[in-house]
Amino acid sequence: MARVLVVEDELHLAEGLQFNLEAEGHEVEVLGDGALAAQRLASEGAPLDLVLLDVMLPGMSGFEVARRARAAGNFVPILMLTAKDEVADRVRGLEEGADDYLAKPFRLEELLARVRGLLRRRRWDGGLGESTAPREVRFGDVTVHFDRFEIATPRGTARITTREAGLLRALIDREGEAVTRGELLEEVWGLRPDTRTRVVDSFVVRLRRYVEPDPSRPRHIVSVRGHGYRFVR
């Protein structure tokens, strides 16, 4: 059983989501206001396993809720729901920290499949963590615990999001290779390789803050000019 927060101001949709998620065996909280959702995600209430977050909300947009949650160090998986299916909106949601994105109207079966996928990824039972991929990787003075979504260094321990873990895993799995931004967009975010976005670069900046002794002079996640990035142990 997982604890899921549904943030949706359309009452009938919120009730339908709650009913079907509870039928799946989950415990569900429902909020209809963005500002209240931001407060919940910043609070020390019962830990959440997943957030279904509408974009168009009273009080505060879903984009801003996600941004504030990530800035505050809350890395619960976020599935954004929106009536807009524009690539720009999807990219913005991912850049603000969402883990997945689903456009309305959606089929219930697809929503539940996305929910199961995010929860599996959180438990590191599937997706990027399945098969023989090691759950703990060490390089330099860094230890990455993929099963716990944590990076430990002499400077402390940091929690990372599923996308940050996915990006780091993708680079580590191709150690020494120059991996293009397009390849990373497709593998980690499920976007077309030619999508115009800086999301890969933004996430690399975040990862460098965790793993590099001096992020301005990276040793492990190295830029390959005009191409992408290379992981060096």
- Name which residue leads in pLDDT, 148 or 128: 148
Which residues of the chain are in CATH 3.40.50.2300 domains? Answer: 3-123
42, two tokens: 């910043």
Assign 215 a pLDDT band (cuts: 50, 70, 90): very high
- Is the pTM here over 0.75, yes or no? no
- Name which residue leads in pLDDT, 88 or 47: 47
Which residues of the chain are in CATH 1.10.10.10 domains? Answer: 128-231
> Running DSSP on this structure, what letter comes out for residue 127?
G
Topology of domain 128-231, CATH? Arc Repressor Mutant, subunit A (1.10.10)
Instruction: Give me the pLDDT at residue 129, please.
Output: 40
Positive or negative: CA dihedral 72, 75, 77, 82: positive
Rg (CA), the chain: 18
SS (H, E, C) 62-76: HHHHHHHHHHCCCCC
Instruction: Give me the pLDDT at residue 85, please.
Output: 66
Kindly give the pairing relationship between strand 27-31 and strand 78-82: unpaired
Instruction: Give me the pLDDT at residue 130, please.
Output: 40
Domain 3-123 classified CATH 3.40.50.2300? Answer: yes
Measured CA distances, 9 to 36, 203, 219 (Å):
12, 30, 46
Convert the pLDDT of each residue in 73-112 to its tens digit: 888 999 999 887 677 788 888 888 898 889 898 999 999 9
